Amino acid sequence: MKIAVIGTGYVGLVTGTCFAETGNQVTCVDIDEKKIEKMRNGIVPIYEPGLEDLFNRNKNEGRLSFTTNLQEGIKDAKIIFLALPTPPGENGSADLKYILKVADDLGPILDQYVVIVDKSTVPVGTAELVSSHIAKNATVEFDVVSNPEFLREGVAVEDFMKPDRVVIGTSSEKAKNMMNKLYAPLVRQGNPVIFMDERSAEMTKYAANAFLATKITFMNEIANLCEKVGANVDDIRRGIGTDSRIGKRFLFAGIGYGGSCFPKDVQALEKTSKEFDYEFKILQAVMDVNEDQKTKLIPRLKEYFGGDLKGKTIALWGLAFKPYTDDIREAPSLYNIKELLEAGCIIKAYDPEAAANVKGVIGDVITYTKGPYEALKEADALMIMTEWPQFRTPEFDVMNVLLKNKVIFDGRNLYELDAMKELGYTYYSIGRETVKA
Ligand SMILES: NC(=O)C1=CN([C@@H]2O[C@H](COP(=O)(O)OP(=O)(O)OC[C@H]3O[C@@H](n4cnc5c(N)ncnc54)[C@H](O)[C@@H]3O)[C@@H](O)[C@H]2O)C=CC1
Ligand SMILES: O=C(O)[C@H]1O[C@H](OP(=O)(O)OP(=O)(O)OC[C@H]2O[C@@H](n3ccc(=O)[nH]c3=O)[C@H](O)[C@@H]2O)[C@H](O)[C@@H](O)[C@@H]1O
């Protein structure tokens, strides 16, 4: 089937590449000329494990092409995916300007029946809105379908190719059949395509993200309480995660959730509730707790250094909002960097993938090192922001020599408390006893 994907960020790129992989003819459209040029030259503009090989194979075999021209991109397409940004607008609700601009542009250039798919995360009612914008200038029939995306960055290809479920919101039989056909190769036995109306599909996406953000936040609050009562949040995670009603995943306490989606989607759902005159109390609490959680290690640093951080050199391990990505949107590291700089610290940071993106945002106010150990040289303390696997089993012999003080502030609970005691470290983590050397 010929399909077009408008917008080639994380979602568009993965959607386009994976549907090419299942044998479709895919054209990716983006207004960013540099990005399109890069992709034409075989360069994948994001870091996403497994994507580059898939991308280049499909490109080289002629199933994946790129253009900045919308009309050329949608030519002969049976399905058009909108994978456009929906950032928070001024009041926190999702800004639909990118989606509606493309909807306006599409109307006059459609020349045959087509299914237009909202792949972006959009508030309830957007499918109808997109439909009305296209209809203003359209001369052919079309259907607008809501097909939210549930992939996670870092495992995006795996999530897309083997989805737990595919949600499709449509009231059109014709669109339903076409979407079913497109997704058939991706849906494993038992992992269903779930059909519903457009509004329910739009709401499903927000419900999923808000629920997961709440689950993490609940554990972060349990962690905060654990610190006060002298319990260990990792034991509690194991203790409750084995209950299949609760489930093992997304129970890891840490320095708050970040990324391009949880923060904006929780906020947008709260705004939607307000618009419909409903006070969604849990969501406000989730946002408040997460805000505090992100910088909760800073007071511990102050405690350790006797109140004043001025002139202290802090080594930061991890800048990305989570491992296996170079994405730094809403990363807890950025909030900590800001506070550390305000307190007069010198920062030496290492991240295997995300340093260039941080440099692009904050420049050279911190030092970016080539490896994790270089960041530790002459550092007064180590802070851990992202659980990249290489940080889990470091060479403590090397660290002992490089760090000025044997002290670690760990926002991701990477090390066992007993091991830190044995190694003679002062070790602050989340929701667990502080180990004092
Ligand atoms: N990043 C993620 O992991 C996930 C994101 N989503 C949702 O998917 C949507 C897209 O997110 P990302 O891929 O992260 O966005 P992104 O911001 O990384 O990329 C969006 C792309 O759209 C392009 N664009 C903007 N206006 C355009 C236009 N008029 N014509 C063509 N291209 C245009 C931009 O140049 C950019 O390349 C958002 O609604 C997001 O909430 C959903 C699931 C996962
Ligand atoms: O709508 C989206 O964009 C996507 O948002 C999240 O995916 P993503 O933001 O890529 O990353 P997650 O793995 O969900 O992690 C989000 C944040 O939560 C944090 N987290 C996650 C899990 C956990 O147990 N504890 C925890 O603090 C991570 O460190 C990270 O900062 C969802 O998991 C995806 O299903 C969804 O498609």
Give 221-263 pLDDT, tens digit per residue. 999 999 999 999 999 999 999 999 999 999 999 999 999 999 9
Separation between Cα atoms, residue 147 and residue 176, nearest integer Å: 11
Residue 191 clears pLDDT 90, i.e. is over it = no
Ligand 1 touching residue 10 (CB < 6 A): yes
> Is 66 in contact with 28 (CB distance < 8 Å)?
yes
Give me the pLDDT at residue 90, please.
84
Residue where the block lists tokens 């849906």: 187
Residue where the block lists tokens 């004092």: 436
**How many Å separate Cα 36 from the centre of its chain?**
22
Q: Work out the percent of the chain whose per-residue pLDDT is above 90.
A: 97
Separation between Cα atoms, residue 401 and residue 356, nearest integer Å: 28
Radius of gyration of the chain (CA): 24
Coil/strand/helix, residue 216: helix
Both tokens of 101, joined, read 């601009």
Give me the pLDDT at residue 8, please.
96
> Is 348 in contact with 379 (CB distance < 8 Å)?
yes
**Catalytic annotation present for 261:** yes
Mean pLDDT, residues 378-396: 97
Residue 332 clears pLDDT 80, i.e. is over it = yes
pTM of the entire predicted model: 0.95
CA-closest residue to ligand 1 atom 17: 85
More confident residue, 152 or 437: 152
Separation between Cα atoms, residue 79 and residue 93, nearest integer Å: 28
Q: Using 50, 70 and 90 to split pLDDT, how confident is the model at 64? A: very high
Mean pLDDT, residues 90-95: 87
Both tokens of 225, joined, read 């309480």
Give me the pLDDT at residue 257, please.
97
Give me the pLDDT at residue 91, please.
86
Both tokens of 124, joined, read 């309830």
Q: Residues of CATH 1.10.1040.10 domain(s) within the chain?
A: 205-293
CA-closest residue to ligand 2 atom 2: 261
Q: Is the dihedral of CA 421, 425, 426, 429 positive or negative?
A: negative
Third-level CATH fold of 205-293? N-(1-d-carboxylethyl)-l-norvaline Dehydrogenase; domain 2 (1.10.1040)
Q: Please report, in range form, the residues annotated as the binding site.
A: 30, 35, 86, 121, 150-153, 205, 250-254, 258, 264, 322, 329
Q: In what order do the strands lie in the sheet with 313-317?
A: 367-368, 346-350, 313-317, 381-384, 407-410, 426-428
- How far is CA 284 from each of CA 238, 270, 356, rounded to the nearest angstrom? 28, 7, 33
Residue 188 clears pLDDT 90, i.e. is over it = no
Residue where the block lists tokens 């992992």: 191
Third-level CATH fold of 2-196? Rossmann fold (3.40.50)
H or E stretch covering 367: strand 367-368
Separation between Cα atoms, residue 67 and residue 51, nearest integer Å: 19
Q: What is the pLDDT of residues 346-373, one digit of tens each?
A: 999 999 999 999 999 999 999 999 999 9
The CATH class given to the 295-428 domain equals alpha beta
Q: Please report, in range form, the residues annotated as the binding site for NAD(+).
A: 30, 35, 86, 121, 153, 264, 329
| C-alpha of residue 82 to centroid of ligand 2, in Å | 22
CA-closest residue to ligand 2 atom 6: 152
> Is 271 in contact with 93 (CB distance < 8 Å)?
yes
ipTM: 0.97
| C-alpha of residue 84 to centroid of ligand 1, in Å | 4
Angle 199-200-206 from CA coordinates, rounded to 5°: 95
Residues 6 or more apart whose Cβ sits within 8 Å of residue 25 = 1, 2, 3, 63
Of 233, 262, 264, 265, the residue with max ligand 2 atoms within 8 A of its CB, to mutate for a pocket test, comes to 262
Q: What is the pLDDT of residues 286-322, one digit of tens each?
A: 999 999 999 999 999 999 999 999 999 999 999 999 9
> Is 90 in contact with 271 (CB distance < 8 Å)?
no
Q: Using 50, 70 and 90 to split pLDDT, how confident is the model at 137? A: very high
> Is 41 in contact with 65 (CB distance < 8 Å)?
no
Q: What is the pLDDT of residues 5-57, one digit of tens each?
A: 999 999 999 999 999 999 999 999 999 999 999 999 999 999 899 999 999 99
> Is 6 in contact with 70 (CB distance < 8 Å)?
yes
Q: Residues of CATH 3.40.50.720 domain(s) within the chain?
A: 2-196, 295-428
Separation between Cα atoms, residue 361 and residue 359, nearest integer Å: 5
- How far is CA 78 from each of CA 279, 377, 380, rounded to the nearest angstrom? 41, 57, 59
CB burial readout 65-90, b (16+ within 10 A) else e: bbbeebeebbeebbbbbbbbbbeeee
Start-to-end C-alpha separation, the chain: 64
Which residues is 383 bridged to in the sheet? 316, 409
Helix axes 281-294, 262-275, angle to 10 degrees: 150
Across the chain, what does the average pLDDT equal?
96
Ligand 1 touching residue 101 (CB < 6 A): yes
Q: Using 50, 70 and 90 to split pLDDT, how confident is the model at 92? A: confident
Separation between Cα atoms, residue 180 and residue 173, nearest integer Å: 10
Of 121, 155, 205, 216, the residue with max ligand 2 atoms within 8 A of its CB, to mutate for a pocket test, comes to 216
Ligand 1 touching residue 83 (CB < 6 A): yes
Both tokens of 132, joined, read 């009305």
Residue 189 clears pLDDT 90, i.e. is over it = no
Q: What is the pLDDT of residues 407-420, one digit of tens each?
A: 999 999 999 999 99
Give me the pLDDT at residue 142, please.
98
> Is 138 in contact with 107 (CB distance < 8 Å)?
yes
